Chain A
């Protein structure tokens, strides 16, 4: 099956037409952030303070890479569990965030916020960090260097593979895919 090619940042039309279950490849700039960076970003935004990078139309990848070896751009870099970011996510979406890449369920509040803000949630294959890091061509720390692996990196990715899990209509592919598979299996 051909994967839909997406060049970041996405237009509102592109975001609106993405559908749960679509397999895509991302090319362009994404930011990394996981637990510790989210906590800081959330605290600053809550205080009306600025953060060192713009969330406007941004994509965030939930990842804490391994240290790069001397010949590497970045170490292994697969997704971490997204639900730990749920508490912080709606505020980030209100500040312009349009896409998140991680793995696993999101809560109802996040789903609602994804719908309201016309954003999208994608999953990459958890535990395939060696494979996924091949799609990362550049990596630069742009915020919170003191956080080490949890610092915010700006990544340049090429053909980064992911699956649309929650689309801007609020469809959840984790629920739909499982139901679909169970229905098809019952016919076999």
Chain B
């Protein structure tokens, strides 16, 4: 049995939130650099170079790369032999988010009530927290600062078996087409296929936590990711929707079993500021 102190998690999560917003991952930066080489639109190239400069400024000055510091989304892998002393993991994460966002001058972007739009008293919390129980005594916390603009252009559809792979592709590409410049391309496109209504949305989100360039372990699914990315980059939307080759930086799919009547598909769009960090204890 491993014991981890509640306060330690609060401190570490606070740090994680700030790092996610200040330090763009090396995976995204190298995807930008690669895209600069292949992008044939001059303005598209300039935008990609500006995004690299923006990321450098954020890291050097410890300021957020984007003013939308997002909803904090967590996927927690909690080992069964791990014990959190002093409180629940959920409370520790929410406390860490409040501290990290407030102390780091990150934006408080959460309303308490979606209808009345009353701002919550709890600085940028509650976070969205998914807990997966695992064997062993490790605690792994994956964090993503997910922007609202790209989230707004995401979509879910309950397709049926008759729609098949073609129907799935069509829905995914239509979603990207419809998003155009709104979701801040170049995009990272997260796709969930299967499960049920809520599970496929979760799968789409979960796929976005994979580093850019890491394909699905199944060769068939990896091929589908590559094919979709090719289709997206042929659309001509380009960086910021101003025309170009680079509409998507990456396409990620997660797949799970589903009902014989069903073919749920969720497309979770992420802007180029694909901010995800992980913490192992």
Contacts and interface: CB of A to CB of B under 8 A. Distances in A.
Say if A and B assemble together: yes
Contacts of A182: 236, 243
A103 B109 CA distance: 19
A64 B107 contact: yes
B64 A130 contact: yes
Interface stretch (B50-58, B126-134, B202-210, B251-259): B50-58
Interface string B54-85: 11011001011111110000000000000000
A31 B182 CA distance: 22
A68 B50 CA distance: 22
A126 B106 CA distance: 17
A35 B117 CA distance: 11
A127 B51 contact: yes
Interface residues of A, number: 45
A174 interface: yes
Given A127-B184, A177-B243, A185-B40, A80 B68 contact: yes
23 contacts: A64-B109, A67-B105, A75-B105, A103-B149, A103-B181, A103-B182, A104-B181, A105-B182, A126-B240, A127-B54, A129-B54, A130-B58, A130-B64, A134-B57, A149-B107, A149-B108, A163-B242, A177-B238, A178-B236, A178-B243, A180-B243, A185-B40, A185-B236
Interface of A: 1, 23, 36, 63-69, 72, 75-78, 80-81, 83, 103-105, 123, 125-131, 133-134, 148-149, 163, 173-174, 177-182, 184-185, 188
Which 7 pairs across A and B sit closest by C-beta, in order of nearness? A181-B243, A104-B182, A177-B243, A126-B184, A131-B54, A129-B67, A128-B54
